[in-house]
């Protein structure tokens, strides 16, 4: 059995919660491992006022003792600082007669591009606040928290991972594919738009400013790179055990993501096979390797030992100051769907979210494939596998 996690909580509820299961016992873990990653999610040029309200920190409430995991479920809690302003609107208790006026901010106007209308139809909600509170990207806070635990596991097993921006609003970055992952981490962490190409950084920021001035929003493309994954992780024997398929599903599960590619991805459609597939080489020191990495570290649903390269396309945020037309679900009257606040661009933050959902899937693949009840046993098994693959 591998790892799994569940999240709970609403955007303006008292807290967000996640429960993680399947981590080995004896793995070093502290709250700072998680909170450093949560802080990264809140950075990024183009973010809205909510990032000033919430300074996210996670509290570990179970599964860790004296800095080490116990092997039992790990529960993480992130408090919502804005809850104090929503206690009546989002209260748990049933309303009694005469309190109906406390249902403030009822939402009957469906916003284009959101889950509002479809969710209302599915669950029978005539107040779409019951939909948007959960469908909000606020939930990615605890997905990053869960991914931070997985990322810690990966780092202890020699796997490094980074998410960065390669395009915003049509402005594309040029990144050296041979850039060391540690350098990529350092450079993008200092960039307001999390981009490695300093020549396009200002152009990306200007595109975000222009969109904001026009009451619009812009999207982009993020890339996640992971190094150090052993060869042969994943499987070809069933569709649902292919690791690249799991990564694609993880990326597509992030709010507002509409496309994913691995390696050269969609470019492969316009190239001959000789310019797509990676030739195999062998060296006494490293064993088998690929001479190129066009397939992004995957063949047959399994890792090749080369760096893993995954990209995701984020659409522009649909909450716009420039109103789109929609319909009120109660009156059936048309209206212009204006908003109170919004990010004009969340692509830099989305790169962090993508990094963490990929980290979870990679860690889970290792947990599934190797003996993982104890952390020290897991380390030994993966080291033996690396040696086995090198000498194969």
383 labelled binding-site residue: no
User: Sign (positive/negative) of CA torsion 317, 332, 132, 312?
Assistant: negative
**126 burial class (0-12, 13-18, 19+ CB within 10 angstroms)?**
exposed
274 labelled binding-site residue: no
41 labelled binding-site residue: yes
**Using an 8 Å Cβ cutoff, are 221 and 312 in contact?**
yes
* Secondary structure (DSSP) of 224-291: EEEE-PPTT-B-SSSGGG-HHHHHHHHHHTSTTEEEEEETTGGGGGGS-GGGTSPPEEEETTTEEEES
The crossing angle, in degrees rounded to 10, of helices 140-156 and 31-41 is 130
319 labelled binding-site residue: yes
281 labelled binding-site residue: no
What are phi and psi for residue 265, nearest 5 degrees? 55, -125
256 labelled binding-site residue: yes
348 labelled binding-site residue: no
Among residues 294, 314, 296, the alpha carbon closest in space to that of 221 is found at 314
The crossing angle, in degrees rounded to 10, of helices 347-369 and 243-252 is 150
294 labelled binding-site residue: no
Mode of pairing for the β-strands spanning 324-327 and 334-337:
antiparallel
199 labelled binding-site residue: no
134 labelled binding-site residue: yes
Pair of tokens at residue 12: 């303006």
List of residues 6+ apart from 112 with CB closer than 8 A: 318, 324, 325, 326, 337
**Using an 8 Å Cβ cutoff, are 347 and 353 in contact?**
no
Using DSSP, state whether 15 is helix, strand or coil. Answer: strand
**What is the distance, to the nearest Å, from the Cα of residue 227 to the centroid of all Cα atoms in its chain?**
18
Among residues 329, 322, 341, 330, the alpha carbon closest in space to that of 116 is found at 329
- Tell me the binding residues for NADP(+): 41, 47
- Tell me the binding residues for FMN: 134-136, 255-256, 300, 315-319, 341
- Tell me the binding residues: 41, 47, 134-136, 255-256, 300, 315-319, 341
């Amino acid at each position: 059995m591998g790892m799994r996690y569940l999240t709970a909580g609403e955007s303006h509820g008292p807290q967000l919660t996640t429960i993680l299961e399947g981590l080995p016992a004896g793995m070093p873990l502290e709250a700072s491992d998680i909170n450093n990653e949560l802080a990264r999610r809140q950075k990024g040029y183009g973010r809205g006022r909510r990032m000033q309200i919430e300074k996210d920190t996670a509290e570990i409430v179970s599964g860790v003792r004296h800095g080490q995991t116990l092997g039992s479920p790990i529960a993480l809690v992130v408090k919502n600082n804005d809850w104090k302003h929503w206690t009546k609107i989002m209260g748990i208790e049933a309303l009694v007669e005469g309190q109906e006026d406390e249902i403030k901010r009822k939402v009957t106007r469906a916003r284009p591009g959101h889950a509002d209308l479809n969710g209302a139809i599915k669950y029978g909600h005539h107040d779409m606040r019951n939909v948007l509170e959960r469908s909000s990207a606020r939930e990615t806070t605890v997905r990053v928290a869960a991914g931070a635990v997985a990322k810690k596991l990966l780092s202890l097993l020699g796997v490094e991972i980074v998410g960065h921006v390669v395009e915003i609003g049509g402005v594309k970055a040029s990144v050296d594919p041979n850039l060391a992952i540690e350098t990529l981490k350092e450079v993008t962490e200092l960039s307001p738009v999390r981009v490695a190409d300093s020549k396009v950084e200002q152009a990306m920021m200007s595109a975000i400013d222009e969109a904001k001035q026009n009451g619009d929003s812009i999207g982009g493309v993020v890339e996640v790179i992971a190094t150090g994954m052993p060869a042969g992780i994943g499987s070809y024997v069933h569709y649902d055990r292919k690791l690249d398929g799991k990564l694609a599903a993880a990326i597509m599960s992030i709010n507002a993501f509409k496309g994913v590619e691995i390696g050269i991805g969609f470019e492969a459609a316009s190239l001959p096979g000789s310019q797509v597939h990676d030739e195999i080489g062998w060296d006494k020191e490293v064993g088998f390797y690929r001479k190129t990495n066009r397939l992004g570290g995957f063949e047959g649903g399994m890792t090749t030992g080369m760096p893993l390269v995954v990209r995701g396309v984020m659409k522009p945020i649909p909450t716009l100051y420039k109103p789109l037309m929609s319909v009120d679900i109660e009156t059936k009257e048309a209206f212009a769907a204006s908003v109170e606040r919004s990010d004009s661009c969340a692509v830099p933050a989305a790169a962090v979210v993508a990094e963490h959902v990929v980290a979870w899937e990679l860690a889970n693949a290792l947990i599934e494939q190797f003996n993982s009840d104890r952390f020290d046993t897991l380390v030994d098994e993966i080291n033996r596998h690396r040696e086995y693959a090198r000498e194969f």
